[in-house]
């Protein structure tokens, strides 16, 4: 006979499940675009925080909660709760594995790059191989578990510089493992995997991973028509960039991760 859960345990589990189901809003400029809950004053939030299932909930002056962000353990537990309740959450993690790129996957990444970007913008096979060799830990790939193929990836290099420059695209030797700023060099998702939330999850997981490593900022450049999308991922638009990569005009955007080792949460 199964032991019955206490009322408090049931509230905590249901709260965690609701946080998970509501964690991505449609607004712009949130912390990695994961606002799990707003105005939630119940003691359950304190208990979930103590169990390290959510991260540093931010209180309003009246004591209610403004934001609550889930930890990896919290999201995993929430998915388990929803599964046991037979509730579908359209979980992207059931279909995709998120991991560091393997050294022998540079060719596959370069082929995806050619599909996702026009010739004047795409990274060459040579430069992609150099990036993978120089900074494999800064390549996050999404693998379709059923097909065993790469569906998309996000990559960058670490530097101590503050502003983006075009040399980052072509000179992997500029990577400094101790660099506090990550210059993102490409977010690629194959056409057949788009509009499923995969790009958002790549960015979200990348942010969390680099935040834990103590990085300060992620910086990228994008065309004007992509600014709105990156704002939804939590990036700030810094205006027109000095970059003229591919003969195009770009916007520079960033997202803050840490300041002096303290998370921006």
Does the pLDDT value for residue 263 go beyond 90?
Answer: no
Q: What is the pLDDT of residue 260?
A: 47
pTM score of the predicted model = 0.82
- Phi, psi of 173, rounded to the nearest 5 degrees: -70, -15
pLDDT tens digits for range 102-141: 999 999 999 999 999 999 999 999 999 999 999 999 999 9
C-beta separation of 143 from 151 below 8 A: yes
Does the pLDDT value for residue 265 go beyond 60?
Answer: no
Q: How confident is the model at residue 15 (pLDDT cuts 50, 70, 90)?
A: confident
CATH class of the domain defined by 7-89 = mainly alpha
pLDDT tens digits for range 62-117: 665 566 778 888 888 998 999 888 887 767 888 999 999 999 999 999 999 999 99
Q: What is the fold, at CATH topology level, of the domain defined by 95-263? A: Aminopeptidase (3.40.630)
Q: How confident is the model at residue 55 (pLDDT cuts 50, 70, 90)?
A: confident
Q: Where are the domains of the chain?
A: 7-89, 95-263
Name the least confident of 71-85, 93-107, 155-169, 214-228.
71-85
C-beta separation of 56 from 71 below 8 A: no
Nearest to 95 by CA among 142, 32, 138: 142
First CA to last CA distance, the chain: 42
Mean pLDDT throughout 162-183? 96
Opening angle at CA 81, ends 79 and 86, nearest 5 = 90
Does the pLDDT value for residue 49 go beyond 80?
Answer: yes
């Amino acid at each position: 006979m199964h032991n019955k859960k206490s009322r408090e345990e049931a509230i905590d589990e249901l709260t965690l499940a609701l946080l998970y189901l509501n964690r991505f809003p449609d607004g712009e400029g949130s912390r990695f675009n994961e606002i799990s809950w707003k105005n939630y004053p119940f003691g359950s939030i304190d208990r979930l925080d103590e169990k390290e299932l959510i991260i540093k909930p931010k209180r309003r002056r009246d004591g209610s909660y403004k934001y609550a962000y889930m930890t990896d353990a919290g999201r995993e537990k929430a998915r388990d709760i929803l599964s046991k309740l037979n509730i579908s959450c359209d979980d992207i993690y059931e279909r995709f594995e998120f991991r560091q790129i393997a050294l022998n996957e540079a060719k596959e990444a370069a082929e995806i790059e050619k599909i996702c970007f026009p010739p004047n913008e795409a990274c060459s096979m040579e430069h992609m191989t150099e990036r993978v060799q120089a900074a494999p830990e800064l390549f996050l790939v999404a693998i379709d578990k059923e097909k065993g193929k790469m569906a998309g990836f996000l990559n960058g290099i670490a530097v101590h510089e503050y502003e983006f420059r075009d040399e980052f695209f072509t000179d992997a030797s500029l990577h400094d493992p101790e660099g506090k700023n990550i210059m993102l060099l490409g977010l690629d998702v194959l056409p057949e995997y788009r509009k499923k939330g995969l790009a958002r999850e790549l960015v979200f997981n990348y942010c969390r991973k680099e935040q834990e490593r103590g990085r300060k900022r992620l910086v990228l450049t994008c065309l004007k028509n992509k600014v709105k999308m990156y704002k939804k991922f939590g990036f700030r638009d810094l205006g027109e960039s000095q970059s003229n990569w591919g003969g195009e005009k770009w916007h520079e955007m960033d997202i803050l991760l840490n300041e002096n080792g303290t998370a921006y949460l």
